[in-house]
Structure 1
Amino acid sequence: MKRIAKFFTSIGASTCIVVLAAIGSSGIIWWVNESWSTDNRTYLGVLDNLRLARSELLNGYLLTEKHLSGERELADSGRCAYFEQATWRIDDALAALEPLRTKSGFRNGYRIVSEYLTAYKETILKTSGHVCGPSRQTNESLALLELRRGMGEAETRHARVSTEIHSRFRALAKRHDTSSIVLIACWGGVLLLVAAGSFLAARKRRQTEKALTESEQRFRLLVESTQDAIFFQQHGRFVYLNPAGVALFGANSPEELIGTSVLERFHPDDHAAVAERIRTINERKMAVPLREEQILRLDGSFVTVEVAAVPVTHGGVAGALVQARDITERKKSETRLLASLHEKDVLIKEVHHRVKNNLQIIISLMNLQYSETDSPQETERFKRLEGRVRSMALIHEQLYRSEDFALIDMADYTAKLLSQISQAMGSGIALRLETDLESVHLGIDKAVPCGLLVNELATNAFKHAFAGRDSGVLRVSLNKEGQHVRLRVHDDGPGFQGAFPVASAGTLGMLLAGELTRQLDGELVRCAEEGACVEVIFPF
């Protein structure tokens, strides 16, 4: 059965249809001809028996006529047997006609012809009864007269039945001819349609084959020209490798690898994972994701590759199309890049550390400087300047200790800055520091002015709100509001006297606050709260 199926597949479906149609049409034409041959044999059988019946009747008539005319010696022997044999021939004609009793288109003809044959037989029996048998006519003249009358009637009936048989069979033959012509025309049309369909199917198949060939050529050109290694495996063995694949495995030609085990060409540490991936592709028909592996070249060296594969069936056998990309140079570049980034991280940390140390030196120098003066005003100026420097030093310290050199957590920074300010300026004051600091990360370009701004506003509170008091409350909040940051500093002191100091530019601290707000692209406003309350709103 497989060979038959393979044979029909090889010759094409359209050819099979043409062959089957030709066989079918030939079978139908044969059936029509065979049916007509059967009818024709029946027709000839009836005519032959009718001819023999008439011949027997004529022989009986002639002998009987001689017998009745006085030639008894010559005509007496066997004359009555001829009449009997004539009736037998008619019985044979009826038997030959029997197959047409149930034939479509001849049922009525069968009845008429059989009636005519029966009447012909009865006429012969009646005629023979006058000249033969116990009831024969004893008067020879009358017997001769009855014989001639019966013979004439028999001839009339013979002519009638012959004419009817010829007429009926001519009609039957005409019907057969018409059926044959119709069938031949129909099957000719069918064969023409089949031939046209086969031609169109063959042309479409040729176009499809041409397109498939062109597609295969494009695919092969793509596979052969790509820089990535591509190979096809079945049952875990190499079946095909492109030139890049041959070069990747260190072979001189594909034949060195085709038929060998794919698993053997991978690092031993990857064998378990590669074997599982091959089973997943070949048995479960599932693609496997990109994975980094090491392949073993024919010269014994290892190459790092990225491998991906999809299931493919070729020739009825499951396999996989595998793509492998050499990433050895990329891995080396990544290693060099990571080393360079590490060096830059160390360098940046060292820069921030040195800046912080230099600022600490500046603070120490300022301490030495204002320790030599007796003027309280000068001492106050030095302390405020020291606070500003400390706020910048704290930023560099945060960056030095942070893993992210681009952003500073302002919540942690503000808390530490406020702690330093309260320790430096809040001696002798029972200060209650209330903070609402949300985690806000700013770059150093905004963190520095924001830190200085917190320093100026908090220092201003210690200088003006808590002067001459033994207790006080300082509230500082830092929150995100959409794409903006809101910084609020609020104390419970007497508040601002007269116009808002920024507008009047009455103090250096508030002038700095206004300038720092401008650097932040923000807005410095006075809150409608008791005491001194200032808000700064600026974008990220």
Structure 2
Amino acid sequence: MAKTFPPVLLVEDEVLIALDLVRTLAERGLEVIHTTSSEEALRVLDTTPDVGLVLMDIGLGEGENGIGLARRIRTTSSLPIIFFSNYSDPETLAQVEAIEGSIFLPKLVTRETLLTNVIRLLKDRCTDHAAKTDDRIRLLIDALDQPAALCGLTREREVLSWRLLHGNSLFNAWMHQASPLLLERTRLPAGRIVEALARGIPLEIPIQQTSEHGGRALLIPWTKDLFLIVLRESALLETLTENEEKYRLLIENQTDLVVRVDTEGRFLYVSPSYCRMFGKSEEELLGKTFIPLVHPEDREPTLKAMEALYRPPYTAYMEQRAMTVYGERWLAWNDTAVLDEEGNVVGIIGVGRDIHEKKLAEIALKEATEQLKKAVEERELLLKELLHRVRNTLSLILSFIHLEKSSWDDPRLLSRISSLEARVKSLSELYALLHSLGGIKEVDLSAYLSRLAQTLLIAYAPGDRISLDMDLAPLSCSAKDATSLGLIVTEIITNSCKHAFEDRGTISLMLRREGDDLVMELGDDGRGLPETRDSGGSGGLGLQIIPLLVQQLGGTLTVESGKGTRYTIRIPARRP
């Protein structure tokens, strides 16, 4: 079977699936190159430039996955990519969508659907491969007042065939009246045309006279497969003098810099805009290399970037500084290799643009970003150090409290010192959590209250005499609010551990969100509050400060006491 399409590169590490896919594609006459890993696939692409499509799985064993491979391919090639995988989660699909020129097909699709997409993309690749050219060429063609077109050239068995890619209105009118272009109208042998085009030399081709539509065609090489064709001396044309003047004005007044160099970097052509930029004449530049005009620090990166011109898609982009008549300027270059019939690079066409102001702005932005990043890092380090020092200070305070407790025997005084110790511990737990998170703007309230409650229970009810029942929704709040809520929890749990139970019991802590409110419920199944204490907290200091802390939070407090005690604190979830 004759080869119709370029080969398909299959990247699949599951051998049975790969075998099925190779057979399926081969039955349609498609050549398949099978690889099992990212590195192997890249080696194939380096040595087989005519690959037309990549069909790959996303999961590729222990090595780089398909997403990573596709990103690496995109740095040098616009090959169409089909991801054929069972990974269809939103995150993966978003990564696929971000890779230009790729589609996703689940492995569950029918083989006919797979083949339809493979053949469609291969056809598009063959159709568009020669058509990718700069919009400036199309604008140039449209600006000419003579029939002109961008065409693609193919050659089979020494026969030239032409394909119109873009023509201006005059050329399209000529095509409409003059029948198919050039194939039967060429009087020169195909070999001579190919040789001239490979050398990058413009060539005039006579067109047979058929009624009034004869004349000559000027063939101008652009890349290996792309050529500009300008019809001359046709009855559809007026004199060329005015048109050539307009073409000259167009070239001379374009702001982009256009050069053509050989493989040694010697100038073969320089546009007038390039000469003006560097204050040199065409005669001074032709035959000289461009490297001396590049800033010394940018010469090696420039040559490194130009290595991409020697592998598909034979294009390169670089930014470099150059000493111009306007001083040192940043220039951006888009280079395209000129290939001969065997695919060898015989020259380079470069289109440059002055990006000095844009580059300076980018550099300034990068420097400002780096300074900001450094300032943020320093702030974070300072904050962590500050939180660490606060924790150390609280630890010192606790040590002082412990030492003070050891010198007293009065139970009432020891009880008060223990309450003070619990309050300091609640603050210490908060700062421990802040230190682990590395910030102070927002606190994981559920994590903080859980750690605090367990610490208090270990301190005041060791063993299993009192159990802790917690149901905490994952909610966050400011460090300031967390401090107040932590003190509330400390007072209530400490009070329950000391006074609520005769023997065994349970302390419960719940946290949830109701509408715009954050609700915390804390209670026990003990004996309840003494009748001499009301919900306003008229007893000890602990119960007196709870309502004050709730008020500070802008919330409400409800206390239920009977068979056990339950505190319900409701505060706004978003503080004004």
Provide TM-score, normalisation by structure 2. 0.43
Counting helix residues as a fraction of each chain, which structure ranks higher?
Answer: 1
Structure of larger gyration radius? 1
Counting strand residues as a fraction of each chain, which structure ranks higher?
Answer: 2
